[in-house]
Chain A
Amino acid sequence: MRGGTRAPDLHERIATAAWGCAAGSSADEFPAASLFQFQAKRIPPYAAYLEYLGVDAAHMVDWHNIPLVPASAFKSHDLSAAPPEVDGRPGSPGVVFETSGTTVSRPGRVRLGDTRLYEASLLRSFERHLLPDGARLRAVVFGPSRDEAPRSSLWFMVDRVVREFAPDPDTAPRVMRDGEPRWDLADEALARAEAAREPLLLLGTTLFFMAYFERLATLGRSFVLPAGSRAMDTGGAKGLRAEFAREAVASAFEHSLGIPATHLVNEYGMAELGSQFYDDALLAHQEGRAPKAGKQIPPWVRTRVLDPETMEEVADGERGLLVHYDLANLEIPLAIQTEDIGSRTGDRLHLEGRLLGSEPRGCSLTFERFLAEKPA
């Protein structure tokens, strides 16, 4: 049989796949079958599920037929091909991320014994969308260090890109310390960069950036960072607070830091996916064109949009429920069903935020708050 117990080597594919071909569907363009066959053998609950479905992994040819795993299943099952000693305890190999963001009570666990493929994916996407000019900039992290947030895939990713691309990875300020914002560290780093006319790379959650800008506004302070400075912001605390309108975020970056909309790049990711999706504002600026709407689907990811009522695939451009097939998911199932709503045009992904300002619904409700206050 093909595939088998050895992991397929997708490193080369992720390192070299040409951008802009994420719509390609053939097995050659998207070799998910061998990865699926590996996972069907090595992820025990997935194997049991496939058996229950009567799916014969060995003869899976078309990636469209790979059974999806609901993102919530990471909360109920150990969905990993990593050996059991990858358990997240101090000194254990690999990494263990916790999932969040769906409406099931416990956080899920994503165990990765080997993060090389994941790192290859995140570095390539980040470099293309944040550093298309080849810049190597000092970094300021609007969040915690990796040591402080060992269960977070986001801070793992941020730490990894800082180590890869920043000239000063160890001294790059982390503005969150011991769970508290240390705005003074941000003030200091920004003032220094402003004075030294040295562009910066800022990385953090939208919420955290906005909290900092609110504080700057209260103090009547602002910075004008040198040209070439840029920022990556990401959703963070999804669902618990109304997400900010994009224009408001862009204008706050411009007013508070002097970072124009061309140099602000929004990222979308989830712990259950090894790959991320980025705006192309900065890439478009670099290429001297208008930015495209939506986010880039990396060429090693396929995203399908399903009618949430019927689960049938909808036409390009129509909205629905998003499911992703990610070749960077080596040790966790590559086919993931999310609760996110959006649409796709070609290799662009358009995400819909939750309803802005939607009221909690009184005595019945969605229970997100209820779940949020329950101990994990």
Chain B
Amino acid sequence: MSDPTAIDAFYLPAWLAVGMETTVQRFGPAHDSMELRLPVVTPNDLQRWIEALRQARAERLVQRSTASILRSLDRVTTRFLDPRDLARRSAIAALERAGRFSAPMVERALDDAFAPLARGGLRKWLVSELGSASALDRPSSVGGALRAAHGPEWMLQVYAGNVPTVSIWPLLIAPLLKSALLAKTSSQEPILAPLLARTIAEVDPEIGECLAVVWWKGGAAELDRAALADAQAVLAFGGDVAMASIARQAPHGTPLVLHGPKLSIGYIGRHALTRGALPKLAARAALDVALYDQQGCLSPHAYYVERRGAVSPVDFAAALGEALESVARTLPRREPTATESAAIQMERAQARFSAGAADDRARASTGAGASRGGVFASRGGTHWTVVCENGARFEPGPAHRSVRVHAIESPEEFERAIAPDARYVEALALEEAGPRRAALAARFAAIGLPRIAAVGALQRPSPLSTHGGVRRLLPFVTWTTVESAKAPAARPPRPAKSPAKSPAKAPASRSSASGSRRRSR
């Protein structure tokens, strides 16, 4: 980053970048745009790069021990968590200038992405899915059987630009699985993924030889075709049209993990609604709403709040508004575009109109004297909005810190509203006191919600958990099972004597056939 006016928004191994044509594009807010240097990518380049990456992987990555790869990735993790390190400082400076998030928000995002990987976190992640940290090195004892794991030769990854750190864990999946990587960034956020790849290359040039992170225009048919023609595995984020196009073009049998449009929601049980608990509960909910200004799939758009608690859903909404006001002091919101603000104003106006002109149906269901809902909103701008509504329904809001609070009677009411659209939900933040929380979690798991988290923890998923309902590594792994030297005698099966022979229950025993196609949406 010696030249502050033009940032390399791509990463290619030095020998691939030789003679490559680049172009400079302006990026970021009009008053403070920056120049990004991007490679001019042709279908031929992609084919050549893919071939070179595969070769580099065969020569330099495949025989590496997982332990040595983990050591390097641990060092990368440490660098991005170290406030004095150039990698972290460059990331914060560039992402702040890109104008979509404030510096405190970017710092928070880096911490939330890298902290769970530090202090052995990467190794734990690997073990949690593969059952053994050496499964990719040699046949290892995995859930009682002897198994060797294989990552794909190379992966294609397609990133979205909504949240700055959305590319971090996916990118690390490739070296963790000893796979080469071709990644396509989003035009909304083409900065962090190349910076991460470059930092990996600085720490471990051998891994660096197996990574390429570039941008090309989404929907450029020939380039997409060239990237997908021989893809061994695909992990992609994007809108429905882009996801459908990838699913159509990927070779048959290629494992696909496609993260389409999703959002998150919250549920507050009545026992959690006490006067004493309210301020902290509201503050945790406000943090989930404020982080990344609701641009991510882990951002809550609505809270479903039970009536008959010591404090009412309207009280919760008011407290959430106050908490959003105060969280803005430490995590300022990015200024929305005129169109985004107009959408928030429409949401507010609609809520006010509905509150005033409650239609006959609403009146009948809430009864005389019941709250007609309403709006709590920041003054003098759209900084935050809490819309109060009677009854449950599922509908995305206009984001940028605008959220709906639905007063509900029962979990059944919530389930009726959510179940038909459960595939669009990434996570549920669930708050309830006592044993009822576990009971509610079991009910909501049954409608297929992929993640149930604590309020305030939505934006800090664990790498050990799932994303979009699937594990992070396993969909891309194939297995060799090494059976014992003795052929089993041909006789009717008898009950197993030793527990070692019983089927393993560890998640690592879930072998994923290479032909499986997973769409997490």
Residues of chain A at the chain B interface (Cβ within 8 Å): 45-46, 48-53, 68-73, 76-78, 102-105, 308-311, 319-321, 337-341, 352, 354-355, 359-365, 367, 369-371, 373
Say yes or no: B162 contacts A361, CB within 8 Å. yes
**B67-123 CB contacts (< 8 Å) to partner A:** none
Contacts of A70 in B (CB 8 A): 346, 349-350, 353
Chain B residues near A340: list those with CB within 8 A: 342
Interface string of B290-320 (1 = CB under 8 A from A): 0000111101000000000000000000000
In the complex the two chains form, is B342's CB within 8 Å of A364's CB? no
Are A76 and B354 CB-contacts (below 8 A) given A309-B381, A363-B166? yes
B380 touches A369 (CB 8 A): no
Give the docked Cα–Cα distance between A70 and B355 (Å): 13
Name which residue of chain A comes closest to B259, CB basis: A363
B241 at the interface (CB under 8 A from A): yes
The 5 A-B pairs of least Cβ separation, nearest first, read A362-B160, A360-B239, A52-B356, A308-B341, A70-B349
| Complex CA–CA separation, A352 to B342 (angstroms) | 13
Which of chain A's residues have a CB closer than 8 A to the CB of B295? 361, 364
**What chain B residues lie within 8 Å of A370 (beta carbons)?**
240, 261, 396, 424
Q: Is the CB of A73 within 8 A of B188?
A: no
Cα–Cα distance between A69 and B426 once the two chains are bound (Å): 34
Min C-beta distance of A367 to chain B, whole Å: 4
- Residue of A319, A321, A361 near B188 (CB, 8 A) is A361
B238 touching A360 by the CB < 8 A rule? yes
Check A339 against B343 for contact (C-beta < 8 Å).
Answer: yes
Chain A residues, Cβ within 8 Å of B398: 103
Cβ-defined contact, A369 with B240, below 8 A: yes
Chain A residues positioned under 8 Å from B162 (CB to CB)? 361-365
- Verify if B498 is at the interface (C-beta below 8 Å from A): no
Which of A50, A341, A359, A364 sits near B299, CB closer than 8 Å? A364
Known: A339-B342, A341-B338, A364-B296. A369 touches B357 (CB 8 A): no
- Cβ–Cβ contact A361 & B424, under 8 A: no
Chain B residues, CB < 8 A from A365: 162, 239, 261
Which chain B residue has the least Cβ–Cβ distance from A46? B357
Supply 19 A–B pairs (Cβ within 8 Å), ascending by A.
A46-B357, A52-B355, A52-B356, A69-B353, A73-B349, A310-B380, A311-B345, A337-B346, A338-B342, A339-B343, A339-B345, A341-B342, A354-B339, A359-B161, A362-B161, A364-B163, A365-B239, A365-B261, A370-B424
| B224 smallest CB distance to A (angstroms) | 14
Let me know if A363 and B237 touch, CB within 8 A: yes
On whether the beta carbons of A362 and B239 are closer than 8 Å, the reply is yes
Known: A309-B381, A320-B338. 18 other contacts (CB 8 A): A52-B355, A52-B356, A53-B356, A71-B346, A77-B359, A78-B359, A321-B338, A321-B341, A339-B343, A355-B339, A361-B161, A361-B162, A362-B159, A362-B162, A362-B259, A363-B163, A363-B261, A365-B261
CA gap between A370 and B395 in the complex, in Å: 10
Question: Does B358 touch A at the CB level, under 8 Å?
Answer: yes
Alpha-carbon distance between A373 and B241 when the two chains are bound, in angstroms: 11
Give the distance in Å from the alpha carbon of A202 to the alpha carbon of B240 in the complex.
35
From A52, A68, A78, A364, contact of B262 by CB (8 A) = A364
B contact residues, range:
35 or more
A369 pairs with B382, CB closer than 8 A: no
The smallest C-beta distance from B282 to any residue of chain A, in angstroms, reads 23
Residues from chain A with Cβ under 8 Å of B343 in the complex: 103, 339
Q: Which of B245-282 contact A (CB under 8 A)?
A: 259-263
Are B242 and A360 within 8 A (Cβ)? yes
Query: Is B187 located at the chain interface by the 8 A CB criterion?
Result: yes
Cβ-based interface call for B324 (8 A): no
Contact A337 B349 (CB under 8 A): yes
User: With contacts A76-B359, A340-B342 known, is A359 near B218, CB below 8 A?
Assistant: yes
Query: Measured between C-beta atoms, what is the minimum distance from B64 to chain A in Å?
Result: 32
Minimal beta-carbon separation of B136 from chain A (angstroms): 28
> How many A-B contacts at CB < 8 Å in the complex?
154
Listed residue (A77, A78, A319, A338) with the most chain B CB atoms within 10 angstroms of its CB: A77
Q: Are A339 and B339 in contact (CB under 8 A)?
A: yes
B483 CB, min distance to chain A CBs, angstroms: 41
Closest approach, in angstroms, between the C-beta of B372 and any C-beta of chain A?
A: 8
Contacts of A102 in B (CB 8 A): 346
A71 to B343, CA, bound (A): 11
A361 to B188 alpha-carbon distance, docked (Å): 8
B402 in contact (CB, < 8 A)? no
What 1/0 flags go to B390-414 for Cβ under 8 Å of A? Answer: 0000011011000000000000000
**Counting CB contacts under 8 A, is B186 at the interface?**
yes
With A308-B342, A341-B338 as known contacts, state yes or no: A364 contacts B350, CB within 8 Å. no
Cα separation A362 to B239 with both chains bound (whole Å): 5
Residues of B near A105 (CB, < 8 A) are: 395
A308 touches B359 (CB 8 A): no
Whether the Cβ atoms of B382 and A308 lie closer than 8 Å is yes
Among residues of B, the one whose C-beta sits closest to the C-beta of A105 is B395
Q: Are B338 and A319 in contact (CB under 8 A)?
A: yes
In the complex, A361→B354 CA distance in Å?
A: 30
Q: How far is the CB of B275 from chain A (nearest CB, A)?
A: 29
A52 touches B357 (CB 8 A): yes
Across the two chains, which residue of chain B brings its CB closest to A53?
A: B356
Q: How long is the Cα–Cα vector from A78 to B353 in the complex, in angstroms?
A: 12
Contact status B396-A363, CB under 8 Å: no
Q: Which B residues touch A53, using CB under 8 A?
A: 356
Asked if A321 contacts B350 (CB within 8 A), the reply is no
Residues of chain A within 8 A (CB-CB) of B424 are: 370
Nearest chain B residue, comparing its CB with the CB of A337: B349
A343 to chain B, nearest CB (A): 10
B357 / chain A contacts, CB cutoff of 8 Å: 45-46, 48-49, 52, 73, 77
Residue among A48, A71, A72, A362 with the highest chain B CB neighbour number at 10 A? A362
With both chains docked as a complex, state the minimum distance between the C-beta of B146 and any C-beta of chain A, in angstroms: 38
Q: Closest CB-CB distance, B33 to chain A, in whole Å?
A: 15
How far, in whole Å, are A337 and B342 apart by their CA atoms in the complex?
10
Q: Which residues of A contact B218 (CB under 8 A)?
A: 359
Q: Is the CB of B353 within 8 A of A309?
A: no
Contact at B358–A373, with CB atoms within 8 Å? no
Q: Which residues of B contact A69 (CB under 8 A)?
A: 353
Pick the contact of A48: B163, B297, B356 (CB < 8 A).
B356
A363 with B349, Cβ < 8 A, contacts A49-B356, A310-B381, A320-B338 known: no
B381 adjacent to A321 (CB under 8 Å):
no
Contact A364/B261 with A49-B356, A73-B350, A341-B339 known, Cβ cut-off 8 Å: yes
- Chain A residues, CB < 8 A from B338: 308, 319-321, 341, 352
Flag if B358 contacts A48 (CB, 8 Å): yes
Chain B residues with CB below 8 A from A76, complex form: 350, 353-354, 359
- The answer to whether A339 and B396 touch (CB under 8 A), given A308-B341, A364-B261, is no
Of the listed residues A77, A102, A338, A361, the one surrounded by the most CB atoms of chain B closer than 10 A to its CB is: A361
Q: How far does the alpha carbon of A361 sit from the alpha carbon of B242 in the complex, in Å?
A: 11
